[in-house]
Amino acid sequence: MNIKEQLESPPSELTPADRKLVRVLLNNFPTSGLKTIAQLAKDAGVSDPSVLRFIKKIGFSRYSDFQSALVKQLDERLKSPLLMHSKSGGIDDDPWQHTAESTMDAVAGSEPLVIKQDIEQLVEWLSEKNKKVICFGGRFSGFLAGYLHAHLQILRPNTKCITSSLELSDTLLDLKPGDIFIQFDYRRYQQSAAVAVEMAHRKKAKVVLFTDIYDSPLRNKVDLTISSLVDTSSPFDTLVPAMVQVEALVASLTDTLGDSVKDRLMEVDDMRELLGTHYFSNNQQEQ
């Protein structure tokens, strides 16, 4: 229920003090309601208890309840412009179109979640070619881990992507302090992720987590988090924003590595030429 409406159509008669309060609250709604009782009372020219009584009259038992409701509504209002996609054009019950559009929204919405400093930090870590880099992910996000790894492999030595549980334990055992462990873990969080992160953390590796929300239970075992939205209109979550981040990361790293990587790229091309384009890597994905 809209608080503005609650203010405008109260359940019972308003007293003069109430009316003063309504005027103040409505006159730059809703931020005026974020103040303290004392401030609000002063602005309206009434006493503190009058504020309390009014708040109770419109249906909140505590002042803080009123404020939280206000903030919640504020949040929705701030988020709506993004979520309101393509109100122009006809009805789209076309799931393809619909999914594609809401995926774009997710990408746009994920952009502000990225913290420049985090990226810089991560790129710096990844530039240290003598440190190992391990990529690992879940059922779906595992492909992103592989995708990142496929790029990293070209840019630097000492990278690995974990694709089986045996490999996981072996690799974790070998981790040295300062190595980088990159974990992908999105909604429907997987226990293997928690275990891996915990172990990597114990080994004093730098743990990087690509995930969808910040409040992952892994939070305090993780040195750096890169988060993205996963919600779409589809029954499945989207990993497109995450993939954008992976590609952007690769671009940043390439940029930082500079010319040294050009040579390596050449070499890779030459070698592919020699080996023919038909080889498969050990057990992961093919060339």
CB of 55 to DNA, least distance (A): 7
Q: Which does 39 bind (CB under 5 to 8 A by kind): a second copy, DNA, none?
A: DNA
Q: Are 159 and 258 in contact (CB under 8 A)?
A: no
- In the complex, minimum distance from the CB of residue 43 to DNA, in angstroms, rounded to a whole number: 12
CA atoms 101, 103, 106, 107: torsion sign: negative
Name the minimum Å distance from CB 253 to DNA. 20
3-state class of 136 per DSSP?
A: strand
Candidates 49, 65, 77, 202; binder of a second copy (CB under 8 A) is 77
Q: Is 163 in the site for a second copy (CB under 8 A)?
A: yes
Residue from 12, 61, 88, 283 in contact with a second copy (CB under 8 A): 283
Q: What is the DSSP letter of 130?
A: T
Report the amino acid identity of residue 167: E
Token digits of residue 158: 């000492």
Footprint on residues 172-191 left by a second copy (CB under 8 A):
190-191
- Residue pair 20/45 in contact (Cβ under 8 Å)? The answer is yes
Query: What, of a second copy, DNA, none, does residue 276 touch, CB below 5 to 8 Å by kind?
Result: a second copy
Q: Does 51 bind a second copy (CB under 8 A)?
A: no
- Write down the least CB distance from residue 220 to DNA, Å: 8
Q: Is 75 exposed, middle or buried (0-12, 13-18, 19+ CB in 10 A)?
A: exposed
Tell me if 31 contacts a second copy by CB under 8 A: yes
Site for DNA in 28-57 (CB under 7 A): 36-39, 45-50, 52-53, 55
Binds 234: which of DNA, a second copy, none (CB < 5-8 Å by kind): a second copy
Total interface residues for DNA by CB under 7 A:
21
- Residues numbered 63-102 forming contacts with DNA, rule: CB under 7 A: 63-64
- Closest C-alpha among 286, 248, 283, 287 to residue 161: 283
Cross-sheet strand order for the sheet of 159-161: 159-161, 133-136, 180-185, 206-211, 224-227
Among 2, 9, 13, 191, binds DNA (CB under 7 A): 13
Q: What is the CA radius of gyration of the chain?
A: 26
Q: For residue 184, which of 150, 149, 155, 157 has the smallest C-alpha distance?
A: 149
Peptide bond into 217 cis (omega under 30): no
Q: Which does 144 bind (CB under 5 to 8 A by kind): a second copy, DNA, none?
A: a second copy
130 touches a second copy by CB under 8 A: no
Q: Which tokens in the block code for residue 120? A: 């810089």
Given the complex with DNA, which of 92 and 223 has the nearer CB atom?
223
| Chain residues that interact with DNA, rule: CB under 7 A | 13, 15-18, 36-39, 45-50, 52-53, 55, 62-64
